[in-house]
Amino acid sequence: MESTAPLPPIRFSAPLYHIWQRNTRLLLCISRLRIDGLQHLPSTGPAILAPNHLNWKDIFVIAGSIQRPIAFAATDHLFYVDRCLEMLNRYFTRSYSSGLACRVCRRFNPYLAYFMVSRVRSSGSFSVRHERQPFALVDGCKKALLQGKLVCIFPEGRIGQNGRLRRFKLGLAKSVYDVFMYNDISVPVFPAAIAGTASSICPGRRLSFVIGAPLTIDAFVGAGERQSLIDLTREIRGRVQRLVQSEGAVWANK
């Protein structure tokens, strides 16, 4: 069941974000991270990053690779301590078969849940769903874009299935469509590919983050709203798929 509590307001604390970003970069320093395509991203103005989704650790790779603050579209579990605690308990129960490891994690999880929620609430992130706001993703994304922010949305809506891309949802396309039609702003969407985060980030772990050339809604408007959303979403998914496959080939040749 989704939370019935009102959604917390979007807040952004630059000092907290940059502390988190710096700590994330320290974590990534122990890995072998390959970054490509940062030159595509604008330094200012509204834009959307649309990567594949392998693991919850994807956000660390993204935030640690890009200098600009990023407004992430986040599951509503990350806005409420009790729901975040439930999510962490399920994750560590699945990850560790040892009863001792599970008990240690459960003892530590309340503090981790509080830390995660406090950081998410102050990072400018917004919820992707909420029963009181069924269009929370679109509304939150449009608000962030109109404030000139760089937004990151995982179009699959959840972690990919065995490393394969799921069907992309239409929320991202709806957001840029509305901003274009009602505010006359053409927001660039940057397909991206992440590799290596499905496993633990440990010393020497190979990671990669590749950003492709942007596309905009302009070329897809004209066939009616729904068809425009479907066409744009299909094109974004195709580009992400090609980046993922290309990155897989790079890894195979090393």
DSSP code string of the chain:
----SPPPPP-B-HHHHHHHHHHHHHHHTTSEEEEE-GGGS-SSS-EEEEE----TTHHHHHHHH-SS-EEEEE-GGGG-HHHHHHHHHHHHHHH---HHHHHHHHHHHHHHHHHHHHHHHTBT-EES--TT-TTHHHHHHHHHHHTT-EEE--TTSS--BTTB--PPPSHHHHHHHHHHHHH-----EEEEEEESTTS---TT-EEEEEE---B-GGGGTTS-HHHHHHHHHHHHHHHHHHHHHHHHHHHHT-
Asked whether residue 18 is domain-assigned, the answer is no
63 shares a domain with 181 = yes
- pLDDT of 96 strictly over 60: yes
Domain that holds residue 159: 28-75+135-252
pLDDT of residue 117: 83
157 and 57 in a common domain: yes
pLDDT at 48 over 90: yes
Q: Is the pLDDT of residue 214 over 50?
A: yes
Do 33 and 99 fall within a single domain? no
Of 7-16, 61-70, 73-82, 204-213, the poorest mean pLDDT is in: 7-16
Mean pLDDT of 100-129: 78
Could you tell me if residue 242 is inside a domain?
yes
Winning range, highest mean pLDDT, from 134-143, 177-186, 198-207: 177-186
Total count of domains within the chain: 2
